[in-house]
Every structure is written in C-alpha cells, then in structure tokens.
Amino acid sequence: MDFTRLGRSGLKVSRLCLGTMNFGPETAEPDAYRIMDRALEAGINFFDTADVYGHKFTEWAKVPRDGLTEQILGRWFAKAEGRREKVVLATKVYGGMWEGPNGKGLSAYHIRRACEDSLRRLKTDHIDLYQMHHVDRDTPWDELWQAMELLVQQGKVLYVGSSNFAGWHIAQANETAARRGLLGLVSEQSLYNLTERTVELEVVPACRAYGLGILPWSPLGGGMLGGALAKAVSGRRALEWVQEGIERNRSALEEYEAFCKELGQAPGDVALAWLLHQPAVTAPIIGPRTMEHLEDALRSAQVKLDAAALKRLDEIWPGPGGEAPEAYAW
C-alpha cells in the first residue's frame, strides 16, 4: 500500500480509505470486524465514518440516531490494545442526531455535543480528522471555527475537513480560518467518479489552490462502474437508482467495460485507479459490504494507467470539459 500526505498537512494516509457506512445496516458486526482486520493488515491506515451512519437509506430521516457504525468501530478498537493508534480516524458532524432545533447543523452548540458523543461511541480520546458533513448556511464561519479551534486546543480533534462543499465554500472557510491564524480545512470529501465529474469545474481547483486533499465518495458510482452490465447479464440486479443510471449510461458503459477487457483489468479496479491518477486526489473512499468487495478494491492500488488509457477514459466519460470558466467560456 502506498501512502501520501493528507492535503497540505504532514499527516500520512493510505491511498485507499476504508469507508464504513455499510457497517451495521448492511454488514453484520462480526463481518465488519473481519473487514477492518484485513484492511489494516493490507496497509490501509485511514478509516472514515460519520455520526449519522448505522441506518438503512430508508431510515435516514429518523431521529434520534444511535451512531451504530461509530459504536461498531469503538468496540473493534477496544478488542485489541494499540489498535486505535494504528488508524487515522475520520468522522463527520452535521446530520440530525437528536430531536430539537439544535439537533443538527454546525453551530458551536451542536459541534461540541456531537464531538463528545462521537468520542464516547468510538471509545477514543481524539478524532484525527473531523469533517463537516455538509455546509451550514445558517452558521457564521467565525462561530464554526471558534468551536473547532477549541476542540483542537483540547486535543479532541487534530485536523478539520469538509464534505459536500462547493468551491466557494472552501474558499470562505479557509479565508476565515487564515484570519484567525488557523490551519483551516485539509481535505474535502466529494462525490467524484468517472460518471460524476462536476467537481472538476470549481471544487477540484479550489482544493488545489488551498492545499486540500480530495477524498472521493462513491468512487464506483454506487456499483455502476464495477462491471454493472456483466453483472446484469448474470442475473444480479442493482439498486433501483443504480439501475436507472445504468440505462441512462448504457452506451458509455458498453464502451467502458469493453475497454477494461482490453486492458485485462476489472472495471471496478480501473475506476478506482483512474481516481488515484488524478493529482488532487488523496484517497478514494471504498465502502465494502463484504470481504470480497474489499479484496477487489485492494487490487486497484496496483493498477497503473498510461497516458493513452487515461485519454481513452476521458473520451468515454468526458466530464464537464475542464475547469471553470474555460469549460464553458473563453
């Protein structure tokens, strides 16, 4: 496993990040333990979770939440001495966790309570990367950074990141942090894969300008880039929204899977490898439900794509045409 710095920070993380959203609702706790054991054994030292994880998609509107996925990680850490120190642990704050007007968001009130709850569930005294799960348009940046600064001073948080921010949100957040003498954001977690490249317009340039590492979520497009057509032929049906994406992109998927066959690589490996070849990307977030999914993802770290292969992938999945404003203006 290769390692790289997380954005402009000095922190070294693995080029693949283990996403844990499936732990609990889709993956039983004993299986989650085995997946985490194997990931650590394979050299993945970067684990990502969130306080809202632990429910099926159909249950996500429910509050209060019990933070089940964080609890699973906490119990796994507690099972072996020294295990926590081997992991760069990332979690998130913003989503609704308890009832009432302050049960969600990025107010100083919510951040303080949510952080304490996450630390308790994770059975740890600090969070290595505390990520804002979404922008909060109702909370001033100074209030937000005051809360984060206090957590850093207390040793409860080491680095701060964002998720699902627009490019101008990244600029606002980091300019405010700089005025306060703070390090600011070191990472941004965005929807980014061969089929979803909108972030290349402004988010990717903003991350490069401010030194943020990009952590792509849904790197396989919900499974669409993992050989979806071949799996459909074998009788394995995808989720309804993924199936709709397959029909919408059928022509490109046919070209893509044929090209992967020419390369002699599995489609999922090529999709992850493509992200690893993007200069602003630190680590795609892989979210295995099974050990097989994890083993499949581990292969991608060894796949090298030459200039011709990258050019062909751009032809199949052209993206927005580059950065703004040149992507749509002179």
Catalytic residue, chosen from 33, 53, 94, 210, is 53
**Residue (of 121, 34, 106) closest to 72 by Cα position:** 121
Residue pair 160/189 in contact by the 8 Å Cβ criterion: no
Three-state SS annotation for the chain: CCEEECCCCCCEEECCEEECCCECCCECHHHHHHHHHHHHHCCCCEEECCCCCCCCHHHCCCCCCCCHHHHHHHHHHHCCCCCHHHCEEEEEECCCCCCCCCCCCCCHHHHHHHHHHHHHHHCCCCEEEEEECCCCCCCCHHHHHHHHHHHHHCCCEEEEEEECCCHHHHHHHHHHHHHCCCCCEEEEEEECECCECHHHCCHHHHHHHHCCEEEEECCCHHHCCCCHHHHHHCCCCCCHHHHHHHHHCHHHHHHHHHHHHHHCCCHHHHHHHHHHCCCCECCCEECCCCHHHHHHHHHHCCCCCCHHHHHHHHHHCCCCCCCCCCCCCC
At residue 50, what are phi and psi to the nearest 5 degrees?
-160, 155
d(CA 162, CA 4): 19
Would you call 53 a catalytic residue per the annotation? yes
Residues annotated catalytic, as ranges = 53
